[in-house]
Amino acid sequence: MLEKIKAIEAAANDEMGSAADAKALDDLKIKYLGRKGLVTELLGQISSLSAEEKPRLGKELNALKVRIDGAFGARQAELARSPVLPKDHADLTLPGFRPPSGSRHPLTKTIDEILSAFLGMGFKVVEGPEIETEFYNFEALNIALDHPSRDAFDTFYIKNKYLLRSHTSPMQVRFMETEKPPFKIVVPGRVYRPDAVDASHSFMFHQVEGLVVGEDVTFADLKGTLGMFVKSYFGAAAKIRFRPHHFPFTEPSAEVDVSCFICGGKGCSVCGRKGWLEILGCGMVHPNVFKAVKYPSGKYTGFAFGMGADRIAMLKYGINDMRLFFENDMRFLEQFK
Ligand code: 2U9
């Protein structure tokens, strides 16, 4: 009998220790102390013992009952204090952590900021296909197929005169085919040119171009609009200057410099001691372009401009190698949160 008492007590303590919750513990209480429980059963056997054993074992059994009952109470309190969590449950005592947050690509950010400067002046954003035809990429833009200037517009051809657009201008042509002036649009997008890749060249880059057409649009409007743009994008102190240039689709044409936003025009390593950074090309739309989209002759005038977003992003963020934009290196991208 004494052996049994010891075995039952050891088993009860063992099982209670590993009871995972209050319900498991209640079941154990019934198993040991319930009406048909193991301890109760032993108590029932007392009557069959000899007269001298009865009092001693009876005392032992009662003491066992009290001890097991006490142990239940203790384990119950312990479970209430710290519920035992399943093995795969999160450790609630660990410190919290922030989920990593993504960020916009520096080029996306640059393009969005350029566009918002123009949206603020009432421009509308339009986008178009990257696969184009010779008509939209060249002919309609006054770039004759047999003209030497085509060399300056070296292009990836695909098949049957399809090509990867070498500027976003084809979309302005498409827009004019369906819309009547007046309008002000900006056209962002990827463009492709078969350049050898190095720190400042890529076979794919990003342009933002603009086109404004109406009945009395002048070069003064062009100057005012681009002046507003550089002040809004580069800061109120930014100035612009125009240098004569040539593009087949504009006449007259100009290149535009912005006063260096690093040195304020004094001359530094970013602007090559010149105090000016070249950021834009522009001009008054060539009459042949209006002719190609069948606008009535002489009715409209307009100005157009174009800029390379990759170059502007490099200037703005002090990036010295264009390839960094396209390598998806997180150490680079994470800097533009
Ligand atoms: C239409 C008529 C005229 C778009 C223009 C430029 C000047 C220009 C370059 C700047 C750097 C492209 O990214 S870059 O290589 N662009 O200088 N683009 S005027 O003129 C147009 C466009 C569409 C119908």
CA 84 centroid distance within chain: 40
User: Is 283 a pocket residue for ligand 1 (Cβ < 6 Å)?
Assistant: yes
pLDDT tens digits for range 248-302: 999 999 999 999 988 988 999 889 899 999 999 999 999 999 999 999 999 999 9
- pLDDT tens for each residue of 203-236: 999 999 999 999 999 999 999 999 999 999 999 9
Interval 229-262: pLDDT, tens = 999 999 999 999 999 999 999 999 999 999 998 8
Model pTM score: 0.74
* Contact of 140 with 172, CB cutoff 8 Å: no
Tell me, what's the pLDDT at 149?
A: 59
Shortest-distance Cα residue to atom 18 of ligand 1: 306
Calculate the alpha carbon distances from 25 to 7, 10, 30 in Å: 19, 16, 9
Query: From the CB of 281, is ligand 1 less than 6 Å away?
Result: yes
Whether ligand 1 lies within 6 angstroms of the CB of 303 is answered as no
Q: How far apart are CA 251 and CA 255, in angstroms?
A: 12
Buried/exposed code over 296-331 (b: 16+ C-beta within 10 A; e: otherwise): eeeebbbbbbbbbbbbbbbbeeebeebebbeeeeee
